[in-house]
Amino acid sequence: MPVSSRPDVAAPARPAATHAAAPTPVREGLPPRREDLRGVDPYGAPQIDVPHLLNVNENPVGPSAALAEDLGRAVREAAGGLNRYPDREFTALREDLADYLAAESGIPAPPVASVWAANGSNEIMHQLLLAYGGPGRTALGFTPHYSMYPEYARDTYTDWVVADRGPAPEFALTAEDVTAAIAAHRPDIVVLTSPNNPTGTALAPDVVSAAAQALLPTAGMLVVDEAYGEFRRDGVPSALELLPQFPNLVVTRTMSKAFALAGGRLGYLVADPAIVDSVRVVRLPYHLSAVTQAVARTALAHREELLGKVDQLRTARDALFEHLRERGHLTAPSDANFIYFVPLLHRAADRHQVWQALLERGVLIREVGPEPWMRVSVGTDEDNAAFRTALEEADPR
């Protein structure tokens, strides 16, 4: 069944175009910002009101009418108790997440004590660095990587160091690459991403195993970010399978992508219960609202419907990949819901000119990572067709 641009229920209108805000005039006598934050702009991809939004890897398919009705019912029920604080341990949600992971990845259901959730995987990563990073500690990543990783480190006074991924277009990592970087930097935390953002590259199990093993002698932690894990191709395993072997392994996931819940803000991790206990120490009180818990549990109850849409998006991704490759654009293999590519026309224009040409045709994609690479999210059939047409029209050949 094709991915349609007409979700079963109307999505709320996106806010008006928001670009980088004009600098706020600084009044005399205001306290100075923290030294390392001076001159730093807040994170944020452009939010521009155009017909085809393909820049932040959202799931383009909204909830069905039945799911929307159930979500509304769950929120109404939660609203009746909003005068009380939410369940700060959200045990029922953690049980549901454990059951889901068992079904999705074929692992035994993790114990509730091994599962933790927060407001998006961003907060999960922030909590991990609060608990295990800090002054005098180092976190290691591999470029190109998700642009928020250095900011988590900065916010927690953790040193951030990087090593390079393999050459384009695969951007692969080998066990030798990872263990050599660990030996060189002796990090306290290593962040691997599978599939990787922005490249879409998935990791082989031996890479994860080698990294976790290399960190054991120094009691280092390995975090595998699987925000796009549900989009991986058949036969590509999850790092969840390795959790019984490595007490220093943490696997993070999100409901923003596969569950089309970017507006609901729910991310989670699976790890040894001692790691979860450490994260519980640094979490803010009652950090997960009753409404968020209700919405997430309802979405999990509809997982067959939602993961069916994931299958459609995987098919659309593979078709778009083949189209780009056949047209001569350089493309990175993708196990995610986006494609990393170099437009053929970059020879006649820099990537920002390409980005602008697409935007003028109503298509918003992302300039991210090293020049001249760009990233396009997989959208509806209509979105993907509009992107293909816009790219053809922008091509000066």
Please give the pLDDT value at position 275: 98
Q: Is the separation of the CB atoms in 261 and 299 below 8 Å?
A: yes
Q: Is the separation of the CB atoms in 304 and 66 below 8 Å?
A: no
* Residue 360 and residue 230 share a domain: no
- Tell which residue, 59, 44, 57, 56, has the closest CA to residue 11: 59
* Residue 335 and residue 289 share a domain: no
* Residue 372 and residue 233 share a domain: no
What digits encode the pLDDT tens for the residues 168-202? 999 999 999 999 999 999 999 999 999 999 999 99
Last residue of a domain, one of 301, 321, 336: 301
What digits encode the pLDDT tens for the residues 121-165? 999 999 999 999 999 999 999 999 999 999 999 999 999 999 999
Q: Is the separation of the CB atoms in 394 and 345 below 8 Å?
A: yes
Last residue of a domain, one of 267, 301, 335: 301
* Residue 277 and residue 133 share a domain: yes
Quickly tell me which residue has 């079904």 as its tokens: 103
* Residue 201 and residue 172 share a domain: yes
What digits encode the pLDDT tens for the residues 70-88? 999 999 999 999 999 999 9
Last residue of a domain, one of 279, 301, 323: 301
* Residue 56 and residue 175 share a domain: no
In this structure, the chain runs to a length of 397
Average pLDDT, the chain: 92
- Share above pLDDT 90 across residues of the chain, in percent, rounded to a whole number: 85
**Number of structural domains the chain divides into:** 2
The region, left, alpha or beta by phi > 0 then psi within -120 to 50, assigned to residue 120 is: left
* Residue 285 and residue 143 share a domain: yes
Q: Is the separation of the CB atoms in 116 and 94 below 8 Å?
A: yes
Over range 249-263, report the average pLDDT. Answer: 97
In a domain? residue 6 = no
What digits encode the pLDDT tens for the residues 7-28? 444 344 444 444 455 566 668 8
Please give the pLDDT value at position 21: 55
Please give the pLDDT value at position 23: 61
Over range 212-227, report the average pLDDT. Answer: 98
Q: Is the separation of the CB atoms in 331 and 341 below 8 Å?
A: yes
Rounded to two decimals, what is the model's pTM? Answer: 0.92
* Residue 350 and residue 242 share a domain: no
Please give the pLDDT value at position 9: 41
Range of the domain at 150: 76-301
**pLDDT at residue 30 tops 60:** yes
CATH number of 185's domain: 3.40.640.10
The two tokens of residue 272 are 């040894």
In a domain? residue 12 = no
- From residue 11, give the alpha-carbon distance in Å to each of 63, 64, 65: 9, 11, 11
* Residue 252 and residue 370 share a domain: no
- Tell which residue, 61, 15, 49, 9, has the closest CA to residue 382: 61
Burial group, residue 137, by CB count within 10 angstroms (0-12, 13-18, 19+): middle
CATH number of 311's domain: 3.90.1150.10
* Residue 94 and residue 232 share a domain: yes
Over range 100-121, report the average pLDDT. Answer: 96
